[in-house]
Amino acid sequence: MELITNDKDKITWHLACRAEDVPEDGGACALIEGRQIAIFNFTRRNEWYATDNQCPHRQQMALARGMIGSQLDEPKVACPFHKKTFSLRDGSCLSGDAYRIETYPVRVKEGLVYVGL
Amino acid sequence: MKTSKRNRVVVVGNGMVSYKFCEKLIAKTNGSVEFSVTVFGEEPRAAYDRVHLSAFFSGQTADDLALASTEWYQENGIQLHLSDPVVAIDRERQEVRSHHGHIVPYDYLVLATGSGAFVPPVAGVEKEGVFVYRTIEDLELIQAHARKARRGAVLGGGLLGLEAAKALLDLGLDEAHVVEFAPRLMPRQIDAAGSEVLQRQLEALGLHIHLSKSTQQIVGTESIEALQFTDGTSLDVDMLVISAGIRPRDELAKAAGLATHPRGGIVVDDFLQTSDPAIFAVGECALAHQMIYGLVAPGYEMAEVVASRLCGQEKAFAPFDMSTKLKLIGVDVASFGDPLAEEPGCRTIRYENRAKGIYKRVNVSADGKELLGGILVGDAEQYNMLLQTCKNKMVLPPNPEDLILGTRGGEEAATGGVLGLPDDALICSCEAVTKAMICQEVTERGYTSVEDIKKANKACTGCGGCTPLVKDLIVGTMKQQGVYVRNVICEHFAYSRQELLDLTKMNNLRTYNEVLDAFGHGDGCETCKPLVASVLASLWNENVLEKGRATVQDSNDRFLANIQKGGTYSVVPRIPGGEITPDKLIVIGEVAKRYGLYTKITGGQRIDLFGAHVSDLPRIWEELIAAGFESGHAYGKALRTVKSCVGSTWCRFGVQDSVSFAIEVEDRYKGIRSPHKLKSAVSGCIRECAEAQSKDFGIIATEKGWNLYVCGNGGSKPQHAQLLATDVDKETCIRLIDRFLMFYIKTADPLTRTATWLNKMEGGMRYLKAVVVDDVLGIGEELEREMQGLITAFKCEWKEVVENPELRKRFTHFVNVPEVKDPTVDFAEMRGQKRAKEWA
């Protein structure tokens, strides 16, 4: 796995996949350093997001398979299991529960997707 | 902390009412520390939910029952002493002394000592195996003893006694008995006839009920062995839970010289003040209006009154309504107003349905104008409305029996609906919200959802029992204002499903983004995406995963399989009519073995294969398709199965070939997407072995042809299908189903089964018949043509995925290492097969 380290903010960028591997307006899961990261290609907004793949509600590895969308302007993902929704920006639970998910920075360069861990 | 005099509050007891008092006091002082509060509790735990104590035995932990943590008390600056009861009050010096020797001075003392179990003076109550049912500690003792016990009894058939009996059932005792002194169950709440219906229901659930039994002694050497009754009979048991009533904990007050009642209870006035003006009593230890209020709601109201008074507000404790509705071991029981009112002051109307275990009684004033009270057993759906009618002394309809039987044939509730309530009708009694307060939010601030109302005035945030009433009030008020109440889809589409379907069709839109761009705004969500996906499929029947449609499908449609606990999928090949050859059965078995799948026969005469990794799905289907199987659409809002009985081909009673017809029907409608799933069945004779009358459309053979039934439902709200056509031939039957299904697909709200669709339809079955059979709208041919279009367009979507590398490559867990399966997937072993690991 290719590494690009950004010393300034201590983020290590990991090559995750090709941009075309993530369906438009949908997600895919990548295995990075033994962790399951959900990557979302929000084509409608021309934005990319990355979060934990695990939904904290029932600890299911499934967020990458969830539907994405928006609540007012907040981009969000809905877990396919019980439709708990999370902000793609800050990981907070938009369905009103106390738990949240981790979010990670994403960069797309020359058709390749990098996630910062 | 600096505190001036006159604001030191000591609370004795740490039960539910004590906690509520602290919460209200904190809320009223709004965070600023005006009071220094000290709470003493006898139990080792901070306040917990005693009402739902029996949940402790159905898997809830002590933590689940907690109302507040010790941290909550800390954060709010409240001194909390647990396992440390107050043992003396020095009223002269205005201080209390605790068991551990803490001496705390007070300006105001609040006694919230609650109640203990009343233990009747029966010889032998001290024996091992005899328990009371009040605290989590009691429950832990019961639980420990139950491990070695087989037969348990509860002494007391009241509300608490039946709760305790549920606990015995939950603990898995071989036998659970209820012994009641009175000739009926719940003698304070329901009458003899209601008790009889309740008893029958409870017995069906495995409880043994003994009425009119007076216990003479508890027999046994050390441990309890039997109950001996005064009528000479006895009952062998090895454990007993006493739940015969409550005894107010007034001993501390009595010792301090406060006025108490000879039969128990600290005497308080309308302001909940005891005979010492610095001391208040709240909850089950207080005797207000000459009675002990043994429910939590009046206790909370008492907490509100005292907290208000300490903050300088004028507030008195008014006689509290003791109406109650609860679920006892799964049976609804409710009583309101004066449930046991007798003639001549009242006239009663009773309805009893022993077949369904329902009993209803209303007591109407002698002049027929007012509702005095009533009882509901087995079905308490009308409780809210009846309670409101009773409390607000609303004028009754000309036929008061409509109150419990409904106005047979009309939609409006008998009393003119919720809008008929007076403005000051209390809708949410937990938060004291009236009808006017709710309607005002709708008319003045334009709030139109329960969520809005919750935020505005906290209605529905307590027990939640008023939610249906609040919903009705919102919709009613909007209608009254002339606002056209439309079920719009979500924030992205201001249309109903039917409107969006028509627009999509007229504009020939084929993808989600086209629809969103044309008629919506924003980026969509998990509500509108699958809805539009379903509409597109219902209109065009193109592959659901193509043209960017995959990511707008709901969880199951996205991977054409049903997601299960743990993240694996289940696979259901279509087995039309439930008919399958031995060779095909062998293929299913081989596939299941090869991919390590759990197999189960479904209720729809098919075979479900569970535990498939997402990356195995295309290979599994490749093998199934090669053997001649097709997708069963178990994952879709589509036709599931057409169940059949074996019919005239083998059965000596069969009058028609039901299997052949079922296969024909299933093949005709397979794959068609609809607002919700569709189930069907064909029976070969009147015996109805295929259970066609519980399906969305069901066909039953007659001597002359087929009878067609529609809009039946199993599930949580079973409903019989209704007859649409009689003795029709196959071709007519199919033509009518074509029209019926297409009419449903085009007009139903999202996720609405045919039964609910019909229930909401103006004109009901008569209208549906007029449209489908008599074609009064003149759309019959159009519906048939549209249906034919869908049927012609059918392709097995799994076959298309298997053959299309682009679609196929999406079936991986890790996009960067497609060959690796999700390492967190884990199974457990059960009866020689695997099962999903329990939720973490």
CA distance B524 to B536: 15
For domain A19-104, give its CATH number from 3.90.78.10, 3.40.630.30, 3.40.50.300, 2.102.10.10.
2.102.10.10
CB-CB contact of B146 with B171 (8 Å): yes
Q: Give the neighbor-by-neighbor strand order of the sheet with B103-105.
A: B86-90, B95-98, B103-105
Q: What is the pLDDT of residue B413?
A: 39
* CA nearest neighbour of B389 among B458, B342, B336, B448: B336
CA distance B335 to B64: 29
Task: Give one DSSP letter per residue of B514-576, joined into a string.
Answer: HHHHHH--TT--TTHHHHHHHHHHHHH---TTTTTTGGGS-HHHHHTSEE-TTS-EEE-B--G
CB-CB contact of B682 with B577 (8 Å): yes
Does residue A112 surpass a pLDDT of 50?
Answer: yes
Distance of CA B198 to the CA centre of its chain: 20
Query: Which residues on chain B place their C-beta less than 8 Å from a C-beta of chain A?
Result: 491-492, 513, 522-526, 528-530, 548, 550-552, 554-555, 558-559, 563, 566-567, 810, 813-817, 820, 822, 824-825, 839-840
Number of Cβ within 10 Å of residue B302's Cβ equals: 27
Give how far Cα B65 sits from Cα of B55, B302, B658, Å.
8, 22, 54
Tell whether residue B733 is among the known ligand binding residues. Answer: no
Q: What is the pLDDT of residue B410?
A: 42
Q: What is the pLDDT of residue B414?
A: 38
- Contact with chain B for residue A25, Cβ under 8 A: yes
Give how far Cα B709 sits from Cα of B666, B681, B736, B823, Å.
16, 10, 11, 48
Number of Cβ within 10 Å of residue B319's Cβ equals: 12
Whether the ω angle into residue B344 lies within 30 degrees of 0, i.e. cis, is: yes
Half-sphere exposure of B435 (CA within 13 A, CB side): 18
Give how far Cα B544 sits from Cα of B351, B508, B532, B636, B828, Å.
51, 16, 11, 10, 34
Q: Which residues of chain B have pLDDT under 50?
A: 1-5, 409-415
Q: What is the pLDDT of residue B3?
A: 45
Q: Which residue of A has its CA nearest to B839?
A: A58
Q: Which CATH superfamily is domain B554-636+815-840 in?
A: Sulfite Reductase Hemoprotein;Domain 2 (3.90.480.10)
H helix or E strand, kind and range, residue B588: helix B582-594
Q: Where are the domains of chain B?
A: 8-115+248-310, 119-244, 497-553, 554-636+815-840, 657-792
Q: What is the pLDDT of residue B464?
A: 66
Q: Which residue of A has its CA nearest to B837?
A: A60
Residue with tokens 């008195």: B316
Instruction: Give B-chain residues touching A25 at CB under 8 angstroms.
Output: 513, 548, 551-552
Q: What is the pLDDT of residue A103?
A: 96
CA distance B216 to B693: 54
Tell whether residue B390 is among the known ligand binding residues. Answer: no
CA distance B428 to B458: 9
CA distance B428 to B422: 14
Instruction: Give B-chain residues touching A72 at CB under 8 angstroms.
Output: 491, 522
Q: What is the pLDDT of residue B716?
A: 75
Q: Say yes or no: do domains B8-115+248-310 and B119-244 share a fold.
A: yes
Q: What is the pLDDT of residue B690?
A: 96
Q: Which CATH architecture has domain B657-792?
A: 2-Layer Sandwich (3.30)
Q: What is the pLDDT of residue B35?
A: 87
What amino acid is encoded at B236 in this protein?
D
Instruction: Give A-chain residues touching B514 at CB under 8 angstroms.
Output: none
Instruction: Give B-chain residues touching A61 at CB under 8 angstroms.
Output: 567, 813, 822, 824-825
Tell whether residue B711 is among the known ligand binding residues. Answer: no
CATH code of the domain made up of B119-244: 3.50.50.60
Query: Coil, strand, or helix at residue B730?
Result: helix
The token pair that represents A55 in the structure block: 């939904």
CA distance A100 to A98: 7
Percent of chain A whose pLDDT exceeds 70: 92
> Cβ B552–A58 below 8 Å, yes or no?
no
Q: Where are the domains of chain A?
A: 19-104
Residue with tokens 């919460």: B23
Domain B8-115+248-310 annotated CATH 3.50.50.60: yes
Q: Which residue has the higher pLDDT, B289 or A7?
A: B289
